[in-house]
A and B are shown apart, each in its own frame.
Chain A
Amino acid sequence: MLTATGGPLLELSGVHYAYEGAAVLQGVDLAVAPGEFVALVGTNGSGKTTLLKVALGLLRARSGTVRLFGDPVDRFHHWARIGYVPQRMAVARGVPATVREVVASGRAARIGLLRRAKAEDRSAVAKCLAQVGLEETADRPVSELSGGQQQRVLIARALTGGPDLVMLDEPTAGIDQIGQERFVELLRMLNVECGAAVLLVAHDLGPAAPLVTRVVALSGSIIYDGPPVGGTGLPAYLLPEMHGHEHGGHEPGERAGQDRGPSAAGEREGGRP
């Protein structure tokens, strides 16, 4: 019923995207195959968050094609096969919600319109909570958790559909050392034990480096696509390039200061315009 095995899970070809007149993506080709662990790296303004949103159908490419599991993204329906982990949870000033409520919301579409959760849905949610080690905090409000714990809530939410491809947007920004180690262990389980392909968007490889099978460097277009090289994952000749765009243009969903660790956390809570 879906793509024959072996076809790419995600396929972008010739994707262009412009934001308020400024070109952000200029002819991006990228395919992710089953079981791969791809790190998409780039500086602020390199277009990596935009690329992820275009790949998920949240932003529409100006030209080029985006396919998920072989289907054009605007006609794709098997969303349970995709797990999406956004940068952070929007909890500030909102209404309280427990860890279990947030995780269960990931399964809403799979349960279906006008239907209510059954025992199997509840046990699937409990299993995802256990996978990320949050069973004991399941009934606490998410606003009381640490940044690392909140990140695991978002991962658990992405897992409730049983995805074959998990896409994460800068998940380790602002998370402490222990949180990062737990996070990497989770990614290992997802990729190696569950066999899901992973597309990790990040400033650099960071703690996930040992898991990465392929590095894609983005700077408006793809400037490197291959196996990780050395400690940074990138060939030495590209390193100056990767740091020369620090003050580049803005893209939707990626605001200035977002990559600069926990000190910028306070500014982020204002939400999107």
Chain B
Amino acid sequence: MNVLSYGFMRHALLAVIVVGAVAPLIGIYLVQKRLALIGDGLGHVAFAGVAAGLLAGISPVGVALAFAVVGALGIERLRASRRAGGDLALSLFFYGGISAGVVLASAGGNFNANLLGYLFGSVLTTSHADLVVVGVLGLVIVGTVYLLAKELFATSFDEEAARVSGVPVGLVNGLLAVLVAVTVAVGMRVVGLLMVAALMVVPVASGRLLASSFKGTIFASMAVGVTSGIMGLFLAFYLDFAPGGTIVLVAIAAYGLVGLRDRLRRRREVFR
């Protein structure tokens, strides 16, 4: 029997394709700026939003998005001011987020499977309405990156030189922060808040070994992200694993293969 005859699998597949493409597209700029772990921290902050949303009885995804946007802009301000002890301030932010989430969830009596779905992903329960949200946010992310591609590249490659060449670096960094927050909100359904950062960064680790240009790395990373998402979803379905974790493990396995290929190729070059 065909897997895709299940409606929930069709929904899940579409969601996974969008997130698999969009997360590495944003992650590439974070890797370039050496902020690979920011997505993880924002996931923590978004968790407080989910718990607050559940407590207040309004859309947990919407509140999480709002928390993540505010958190991302706050982090960007900290980073731009390069204040001493910046990483300590970041950790206060992140652990403040997750502990506030735990407290809010317990206060509302929301420590249940529903909450776990936000933490670890629940792609198989993606509804038609969820899919519309994921699709629209995904289009917003891709469209913004398309329109600002040259500014995003200039800024993430060399912020000072970009500023001196006249690029509005503050605006570009602020927009990137918002895009990271939106990606966290989109990815939360598929791989969960605790693993969304992995999908932003791990495919980029493969992509940078597969391409030699920035543009090439974007497409390679997106291809790896989408492929890992699809393979992980099917593996999880047949083996009855949790899809979120399976997708991330497939992406890591892909990196293992690509890294091995890269290493063998380098060795051949040395002996030539």
What residues make up the interface of A, taking CB atoms closer than 8 Å to B?
Answer: 53, 56-58, 77, 79-80, 82, 84, 86, 89-90, 93-98, 101-102, 104-111, 113-114, 116-117, 139-141, 154, 157-158, 161, 271-273
CB pairs A–B below 8 angstroms (10 shown):
A56-B160, A90-B157, A95-B31, A95-B208, A96-B208, A98-B212, A101-B153, A105-B157, A109-B167, A273-B82
User: A197 → chain B, closest Cβ, in Å?
Assistant: 16
Interface hits, B144-166 → A, CB 8 Å: 147-148, 150-151, 153-154, 157-158, 160-166
User: B203 → chain A, closest Cβ, in Å?
Assistant: 12
Interface of chain B, main secondary structure: helix
Picked from B147, B165, B217, the residue with its CB within 8 Å of the CB of A109 is: B165
Q: Are A93 and B34 in contact (CB under 8 A)?
A: yes
Q: Are B160 and A77 in contact (CB under 8 A)?
A: no
Q: Are B164 and A79 in contact (CB under 8 A)?
A: yes
B213 on the A face (CB < 8 A): yes
**A109 surroundings in chain B (CB, below 8 A):** 151, 154, 162, 165-167
Bound-complex Cα distance A98 to B214 (A): 7
Q: Nearest 8 pairs between A and B by C-beta?
A: A79-B166, A109-B166, A105-B154, A84-B164, A108-B150, A97-B214, A98-B213, A108-B154
The total of chain B residues at the interface (CB under 8 A) is 33
Contact digits for B215-231, partner A, Cβ 8 Å, 1 yes 0 no: 11100000000000000
**B150 surroundings in chain A (CB, below 8 A):** 104-105, 108, 111, 116-117
Q: Are A96 and B164 in contact (CB under 8 A)?
A: no
Given A95-B32, A95-B217, A98-B214, verify A58-B163 contact (CB < 8 Å): yes
- Beyond the given pairs A102-B157, A105-B158, 17 more chain A to chain B contacts, judged by CB atoms under 8 angstroms and listed by A's residue number, are A57-B164, A79-B166, A84-B165, A89-B158, A90-B157, A95-B217, A96-B212, A96-B213, A96-B217, A101-B214, A106-B165, A108-B150, A110-B165, A113-B148, A114-B148, A139-B212, A271-B34
**B161 surroundings in chain A (CB, below 8 A):** 84, 86, 105-106, 154, 157-158
Q: Are B167 and A108 in contact (CB under 8 A)?
A: yes
Bound-complex Cα distance A172 to B192 (A): 49
**B28 surroundings in chain A (CB, below 8 A):** 95
Most buried by B among A53, A82, A98: A98
Q: Are A96 and B214 in contact (CB under 8 A)?
A: yes
Q: Are B168 and A58 in contact (CB under 8 A)?
A: no
Bound-complex Cα distance A82 to B168 (A): 16
B251 on the A face (CB < 8 A): no
**B82 surroundings in chain A (CB, below 8 A):** 272-273
What residues make up the interface of B, taking CB atoms closer than 8 Å to A?
Answer: 28, 31-32, 34, 82, 86, 147-148, 150-151, 153-154, 157-158, 160-168, 204, 207-208, 211-217
Q: Are B168 and A113 in contact (CB under 8 A)?
A: yes
Picked from B151, B157, B163, B204, the residue with its CB within 8 Å of the CB of A97 is: B157
Bound-complex Cα distance A31 to B216 (A): 44
User: B164 → chain A, closest Cβ, in Å?
Assistant: 4
Bound-complex Cα distance A135 to B45 (A): 47
**B167 surroundings in chain A (CB, below 8 A):** 108-109
**Closest residue of chain B to A97, judged by CB?**
B214
Bound-complex Cα distance A54 to B267 (A): 46
Bound-complex Cα distance A139 to B204 (A): 20
User: A192 → chain B, closest Cβ, in Å?
Assistant: 24
**B208 surroundings in chain A (CB, below 8 A):** 95-96
User: A117 → chain B, closest Cβ, in Å?
Assistant: 7
User: B82 → chain A, closest Cβ, in Å?
Assistant: 7
User: A70 → chain B, closest Cβ, in Å?
Assistant: 17
**Closest residue of chain B to A76, judged by CB?**
B166
Bound-complex Cα distance A56 to B147 (A): 27
**Closest residue of chain A to B154, judged by CB?**
A105
**B216 surroundings in chain A (CB, below 8 A):** 96
**A101 surroundings in chain B (CB, below 8 A):** 153, 213-215
**B151 surroundings in chain A (CB, below 8 A):** 108-109, 113
**A93 surroundings in chain B (CB, below 8 A):** 34
Bound-complex Cα distance A113 to B166 (A): 11
**B168 surroundings in chain A (CB, below 8 A):** 113
User: A19 → chain B, closest Cβ, in Å?
Assistant: 12
Bound-complex Cα distance A96 to B216 (A): 9
Given A95-B217, A96-B217, verify A108-B34 contact (CB < 8 Å): no
**Closest residue of chain B to A92, judged by CB?**
B34
**B212 surroundings in chain A (CB, below 8 A):** 96, 98, 139-141
